[in-house]
Amino acid sequence: MPEGPEVETVRRSLTSVVGLPVSYVELSGSRVFRRVGAQRVAAALTGASFTRFDRFGKYLVAPLDSGEVFAAHLRMAGWFQVLDSFENAFSRHCHMLLGFADGSGLRYVDPRGFGELFVFDEESRADIFPEFLRLGPDMLKEPVSARLLAERFAGSRRAVKAVLLDQNVVAGLGNIYCDEALHAARIHPLRPASSLSVEDLERLAVSISDVLAAAVAAGGSTLSDGSYRRPDGSSGSFQVVHKVYGRAGRPCFSCGSTLEKTRVASRGTSFCPTCQSEF
């Protein structure tokens, strides 16, 4: 499932289609358009061009030259693919095909259909995209500090991993990068967020920044299910350096203990019982 680093990788690639007028739009009638309907999306995109691609947490947000704004969330397996030619490119599991005036194209493919494509404008943003105003500070953009984490955790008794996964607390982290950052900071995922000392928060802040920066540099993580690929079709490479995610039952690279698996906020969670003691 794409998290902040994967969506950031996608965002950077999509800058290649900025400024190209959309001359062709073909959409499925699928639930990826559930928020505003496929017709509304088609009407906004036809004849328009993207002025830039921004990222807010795991959302891609692209203002159009018309004043409207296109937005996407990849959820489980959404994939934007940049095409040299859009001709006959509406393939299986394709939900949106855009053709540009220069003959190139952009396709949104999503075998599971959990992703979302929608448009809004300044007036309708709060109604159509209410999550936008609730998103916590973006962990890939903000300088992450112990003070910021303490403020965002606000004395919560919830498990620290559950708090980090909550996009309203901090945005951009998902299951992979929470497990990796907590391991690097030597913090048990089930510890109440309020139990973290200033030293714990300082280590966690550094770990979050370091893990996310390294993941972006590697183009994100492509897992064995192949659910994330870059817009040029290539894979990310951060999965080869995962230290805990997906490694339960195997030895910890730091101490040799067998990594364990638990569930936090109904997500499978890997951790080292030695490096990440519960107290």
Question: In the 8-state DSSP scheme, what is residue 262?
Answer: E
Residue nearest to Zn ion (CB): 252
Is residue 267 annotated as a catalytic residue, yes or no? yes
The C-alpha atoms of residue 105 and residue 40 are separated, in whole angstroms, by: 20
The answer to whether 49 contacts Zn ion (rule: CB under 5 A) is no
Burial class (CB in 10 A: 0-12, 13-18, 19+), 204: buried
DSSP string, 110-155: -SS---EEEEE-TTTHHHH-THHHH---BTTTS---HHHHHHHHTT
| Residue 58 or 247 with smaller CB distance to Zn ion | 247
Q: Does 51 bind Zn ion (CB under 5 A)?
A: no
> How buried is residue 276: exposed, middle or buried, by Cβ count under 10 Å (0-12/13-18/19+)?
buried
Q: Which is nearer to Zn ion, 142 or 260 (CB)?
A: 260
CA pair distance 5, 218, nearest whole angstrom: 9
| Interaction of residue 272 with Zn ion, rule CB under 5 A | yes
Residue 187 CB, shortest distance to Zn ion, in Å, is: 12
> Considering the rule CB under 5 A, would residue 218 count as an interface residue with Zn ion?
no
Residue 189 is a catalytic residue: no
DSSP 30: S
Please tell me the distance from the alpha carbon of residue 7 to that of residue 115, in angstroms, as a whole number. 13
Q: Verify whether residue 143 is a known catalytic residue.
A: no
Whether 3 is catalytic is: yes
Q: How far apart are CB 88 and Zn ion at their closest, in Å?
A: 52
Per rule CB under 5 A, is residue 254 in the interface with Zn ion?
yes
Residue 216's contacts (CB-CB under 8 Å, 6 or more residues apart) are 5, 8, 9, 140
Closest contact distance (angstroms) between CB of 176 and Zn ion is 18
Q: How many residues bind Zn ion (CB under 5 A)?
A: 7
* Residue of 31, 137, 267, 273 with catalytic role: 267
User: Given candidates 255, 261, 263, 278, which one binds Zn ion under the rule CB under 5 A?
Assistant: 255
* Closest separation in Å from C-beta 273 to Zn ion: 8
- Selecting among 3, 68, 116, 180, the annotated active-site residue is 3
Stretch touching Zn ion by CB under 5 A, among 45-53, 113-121, 147-155, 249-257: 249-257
3-state helix, strand, coil in the chain (%, to 5): 30, 20, 50
The binding site for Zn ion (CB under 5 A) comprises: 252, 254-255, 257, 272, 274-275
The set of catalytic residues is 2-3, 58, 267
